[in-house]
Every structure is written in C-alpha cells, then in structure tokens.
C-alpha cells in the first residue's frame, strides 16, 4: 500500500560538555548496514547515535544520547557520507580537508585512515559513488573534485561553476553525478569521462535579501531512486528536472533541503517546515517555453502531500533510511528527529 501519513518517533541529541549553545545538525545519514545514525554538525566533529538507544533526560530535553566522532582540526564538518558497503565514512570540513575513516564496532575509527587537503575553501559536500569506488567533493573554491575512494588520490578537478558549489549527488545507476551551486546552475557530469553532460538553469531564485539572506542558487540536490529525476532547492522553491534532458517537470514551495526516498515515489523538501509528498511521476510534464522562448514555470508537483513537519528556524538536514520507512531531520537546536512514513 502507498504511504498515507507521518508518525513522529525518537529524538536524538549530543553534547560536548562545553557551556555553549546547541550544535546545529546537518547532512544526516543512516548507516547502510547497521542501525546507526550520523550527522555533520556545527562542531569540528560528527554526531553518532544508536537507533535503538533509549531516550533519557538531556540538556535539550528527552533524547537518545549520542557521541561526537571524526574530529577535524577546526570549524564545522560540512560534508559527510558513508560508503555503500558501510565500511568507510568520508568527511569534509571548513578546515578545507577531506578525511576517510574506517568503520568497525558500530563507530568510525579514532584516527582517519586518510587525510588530505581538498579545496582552497570549505569542503561543502562529499558523496560516494554507488559502487563505492569514487568520492566527489564540492568546494567553496567553485570547484568539483573527484577522488579515488580507496586512498583519496585525486583523479579530476572540474570547473563548471562560477560561485560556491554547495552540493553533489550521484544517480543511483552510477552513470552520472550532479553538482549545484550559488551560481544557480546544476551541472550533470559523466561518471566515466568526467566531462559535463549538460548544465541546467535553476532560475532566478539565487538573490540575496534582507539582513539574514536565505540559501542562494542551488543549495541542495538529490537524484531519484530510478535515476530519472533530479530535485534542487534554493531560495523559496524546489524544482524537479528530467535528468536526461534537463527539462523542468515540477515545482513546489520549499527551501534548503531535499531528498528522494530510495524505496518509493516519495520526496521531502523544506527546512523550517518540511513537506513530504507521495509524488506521481507519470504526471511530470516538461514546462512549456514562454513567449520569448525561455523555459517556462513547471506545473505544481503532482501527487499527495503526506504531511508537513515543523522543525524551527534553519533546520539543515534530511535523509530517508534505505527501506524508505524512516526519515531523519537535522535541526538547529542540536537535535535530530526521526519520523516514520506509514
């Protein structure tokens, strides 16, 4: 049966013993082979929890207590991913370094197996290829880089953006990966030649405004389980594009975060309030050009909205578990909330 509702589950939190504010949780990941939850956070380390842990009293309220692991030299861990076989964790930080950590006994190693300078700027995102052989990173130096995942030897330095590159995402079939940045572009790259396949214009949602400007250009992107669609967020919207043609096929009001379910036609997008849809891909229709021949606005995302989750200001992480039944949200109050899709 198709999913019909959202049910709130456990809350997870971690402290470092210091007298300071909560650690904003972002770049949430489920471990692919063990019941563990990982999140990059506003600390030089990564937060780690046992999904089966019991909630107890914490400084931020009832929550499952976690640990801080994978230390960087300074700043935030900004990019995080776990290899498909669960044997490695890759982290990138505002210290401009890329680190590879072995996984054993339910946690990452105390010291990195590999540690290399990665970008001339913050490492904004890290993504393993579906076969686990490659790593792709996005940098504040406007570059996308490809690495051998086994030893972090550099393979390719890609130039396709004119501003910060915020995110990278692989198609599950491993044939292409996509990058998105503050220049409002999505660039689709061939995974064998590392040449650009196409550039997709995200539109004019990359304007900065007010004292606290929102995410500009493409902030996050994700590819659907069937490798047909890529969704991008930024400004006040989420757009869905045909990965093969670059045509915009659907849009919705949302910002900052986006993820497709790996187990069904379900998508989540948004930060302060996240909306979850069971979308109808059969009704994705390319937008018609306007009278000047420019790409038009696509139709509203077709399907059923399962619910909206209020997360508070600047919630910055979202990801589905492999079976599509659990959804994790990172929050700015130092917590990660788990929701069940029933």
Regions of the chain short of the pLDDT cut 70: 1-2, 15-21, 58-60, 203-216
Flag whether 86 is in a domain: yes
Q: What is the pLDDT of residue 209?
A: 43
> Number of folded domains in the chain?
1
Flag whether 184 is in a domain: yes
The rounded distance, in Å, linking the Cα atoms of 287 and 269 is 21
Flag whether 1 is in a domain: no
Q: What is the pLDDT of residue 212?
A: 43
- Coil, strand or helix: which one is 299? coil
Q: What is the pLDDT of residue 130?
A: 98
**Which tokens sit at 196?**
């650009």
Q: What is the pLDDT of residue 62?
A: 87
Flag whether 188 is in a domain: yes
State the pTM of this model.
0.93
Range of the domain at 191: 6-341
The rounded distance, in Å, linking the Cα atoms of 147 and 149 is 6
Q: What is the pLDDT of residue 312?
A: 83
Flag whether 284 is in a domain: yes
Flag whether 165 is in a domain: yes
The CATH number of whichever domain residue 134 belongs to comes to 2.130.10.10
Flag whether 149 is in a domain: yes
Q: What is the pLDDT of residue 59?
A: 66
């Amino acid at each position: 049966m198709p999913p019909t509702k959202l049910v709130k589950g456990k809350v997870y939190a971690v402290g470092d013993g210091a007298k300071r504010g909560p650690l904003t949780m972002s770049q949430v990941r489920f471990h692919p082979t063990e019941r563990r939850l990982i999140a990059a956070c506003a600390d030089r380390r990564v937060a780690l929890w046992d999904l089966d842990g019991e909630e107890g009293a914490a400084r931020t309220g009832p929550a499952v207590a976690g640990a801080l692991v994978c230390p960087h030299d300074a700043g935030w861990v900004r990019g995080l991913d776990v290899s498909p076989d669960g044997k490695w964790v890759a982290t990138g930080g505002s210290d401009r370094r890329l680190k590879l950590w072995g996984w054993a006994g339910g946690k990452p190693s105390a010291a990195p197996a590999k540690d290399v300078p990665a970008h001339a700027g913050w490492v904004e995102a890290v993504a393993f290829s579906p076969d686990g052989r490659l790593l792709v990173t996005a940098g504040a130096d406007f570059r996308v880089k490809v690495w051998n995942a086994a030893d972090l030897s550099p393979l390719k330095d890609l130039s396709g953006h004119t501003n910060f590159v915020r995110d990278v995402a692989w198609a599950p079939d491993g044939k292409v990966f996509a990058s998105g940045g503050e220049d409002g572009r999505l660039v689709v790259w061939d995974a064998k030649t590392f040449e650009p396949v196409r550039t997709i214009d995200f539109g004019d949602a990359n304007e900065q405004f007010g004292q606290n400007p929102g995410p500009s250009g493409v902030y996050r992107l994700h590819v659907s389980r069937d490798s047909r669609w890529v969704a991008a967020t930024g400004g006040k919207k989420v757009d869905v594009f045909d990965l093969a043609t670059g045509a915009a096929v659907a849009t919705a009001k949302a910002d900052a975060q986006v993820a497709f379910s790996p187990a069904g036609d379900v998508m989540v997008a948004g930060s302060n309030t996240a909306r979850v849809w069971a979308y109808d891909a059969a009704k994705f229709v390319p937008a018609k050009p306007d009278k000047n021949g420019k790409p038009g606005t696509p139709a509203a995302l077709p399907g059923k909205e399962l619910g909206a989750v209020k997360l508070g200001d600047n919630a910055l992480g979202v990801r589905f578990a492999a079976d599509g039944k659990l959804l994790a949200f990172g929050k700015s109050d130092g917590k990660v909330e788990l929701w069940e899709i029933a």
